[in-house]
Chain A
Amino acid sequence: MKNFREIELLSSYLDEQLNASESKRLETRIAADPELASVLKDLRDTRGILRKLPARKAPRNFTLTRQMVGLKPPLPRAYPVFKFSTAFAAILLVLTFAANSIVPRIGMGAAAPAYGYGMGGGGGDGTAMQEAATEAPAAAEMFVATEAPSADAPFAEMQPAPSTDNGTLREGEQAPKDVAPESALQNQAPAQNEAPIPFTWQIILLAVILLSGLAMWIIQKSASRKWQ
């Protein structure tokens, strides 16, 4: 039984993969060793049988179509412009929606402590309510003066809040003081809910998106028709 190294050498010799000196040495050994010669013949016959295996013709053509390889038709130079404008307008539209929903909330958030303080909110017990009742006019004054000066300035001038310095308040004077902050808040609410980016701009952006998208679709269709 020949070792595998010898068989590997014979196999390489068969395929003329040995250099001249290796081949010469092996040939000498083959001539002297009939067993080695017999193995070589077997390997040669095996290779011969494999080479005799009939080559089949391909059962069909394997040529590729553009669809098979996902090739897209060449698009005109204007196409990227429409693509960019659609994407850009879409991003802007999203940003306008985001701005319109976030900015008023930020305004509300900043005003929230004044609301709570002025309206006596946040406290649950009677003490807190009493404190609120006594502090409310001053707080309301502050709120009116800082939050909506333009809207409430005439009102504040016409009805200046009475000072609490005198310590006691008459019953009849309580009502105007309570009404003043509430009406100020009511007047203020529409100003805060007003969207920072006008609705018209959103319509314009939407129109840009739709028109660019339509242009892209038409370009694609026309390119595909020409391609076919």
Chain B
Amino acid sequence: MDETSLIQSAQKGDLDAFNTLILHYQDTVFNTALRILGDDDMAEDAAQEAFISAFRSISSFRGGSFKAWIMRTVTNACYDELRRQKRRPTTPLEPETSDGEEMDSPKWMADPNMTPSEKSEADELEHAIQHCLEALPTDFRTVVVLADIQGMDYTEVAAASKVPLGTIKSRLARARLRLRECLRGFEELLPASFRLEGENTL
């Protein structure tokens, strides 16, 4: 069954059809939420909320990119989650050392299929990127996550963020600029091929 037929069935209330769409998009949705929120548990909650909300409002989907539409739902769910977090601050997800300090490296999130050195490198890089992403304002972070991490084109990002194309271009440029500055602080963690050049180029 193709995506259009699944969407049409879901619009008629077919939950099984919608669940098929969920299975197709759940990794993308979870990753988007994870990069925007920077927390596994919150990302899980946001992804689940996004799918529930998407099913309830699927009748309002009027064609176009379903990926952009579902991304808008997850983006909204992430904003809701961030607002909730602001109202009720929680303890950090990262485990603490015996001294009560946060662990520097997120080794506890490692993929078991990697070699120890790969694991270490990937963890360090992921941690550095996530750190820099979280330093961005939420609107910039959303745009950069959708465009650069999820690989969506500008039109899709504009549809998902509900902002004009010009704003997307501007936010993306600013976000990349800030990320570049931030990542420069983690130069030693970056793979050689991605080492950023000169400090005073801009």
Contacts and interface: CB of A to CB of B under 8 A. Distances in A.
Given A43-B176, A50-B149, A68-B52, A59 B202 contact: no
B147 interface: yes
Interface stretch (B17-25, B82-90, B97-105): B17-25
Given A47-B148, A51-B151, A56-B27, A63 B111 contact: no
Interface in B68-92: none
A143 to B, nearest CB: 68
Contacts of A7: 173, 177, 202
A4 B173 contact: yes
A43 B180 CA distance: 7
B44 A59 contact: yes
Contact of B47 (A17, A50, A57, A58): A58
Contacts of B153: 15
A8 B174 CA distance: 8
Interface string A62-93: 11101011010000000000000000000000
B13 interface: yes
Interface string A24-49: 00000000000100110111011111
A179 interface: no
A56 B190 CA distance: 19
A64 B44 contact: no
Interface in B145-202: 147-149, 151, 153-154, 169-170, 172-174, 176-177, 179-180, 183, 190-191, 193-198, 201-202
B11 interface: no
A7 B147 CA distance: 17
B33 to A, nearest CB: 10
Interface stretch (B1-9, B59-67, B121-129): B121-129
Interface residues of A, number: 40
A54 interface: yes
A200 B6 CA distance: 57
Q: Which of A10, A53, A60 has the most CB of B within 10 A?
A: A53
Interface string B42-60: 0010011001100110000
Nearest to A1: B202
B15 A69 contact: yes
Nearest to A35: B201
Given A11-B172, A60-B44, A64-B18, A52 B125 contact: yes
A38 B51 contact: no
Contacts of B111: 54
Contact of B29 (A48, A62, A66): A62
A57 B28 CA distance: 8
Contacts of B139: none
A148 B193 CA distance: 110
Interface string A92-132: 00000000000000000000000000000000000000000
Contacts of A12: 169, 173
Nearest 7 pairs between A and B by C-beta? A11-B173, A50-B148, A8-B173, A58-B30, A63-B19, A58-B26, A38-B201
Interface of B: 13, 15, 18-19, 22-23, 26-27, 29-31, 34-35, 40, 44, 47-48, 51-52, 55-56, 111, 122, 125-126, 129, 144, 147-149, 151, 153-154, 169-170, 172-174, 176-177, 179-180, 183, 190-191, 193-198, 201-202
Given A7-B173, A62-B51, 14 more contacts: A1-B202, A7-B177, A11-B169, A42-B180, A42-B201, A45-B197, A46-B179, A49-B190, A50-B149, A50-B179, A52-B194, A58-B26, A58-B27, A64-B22
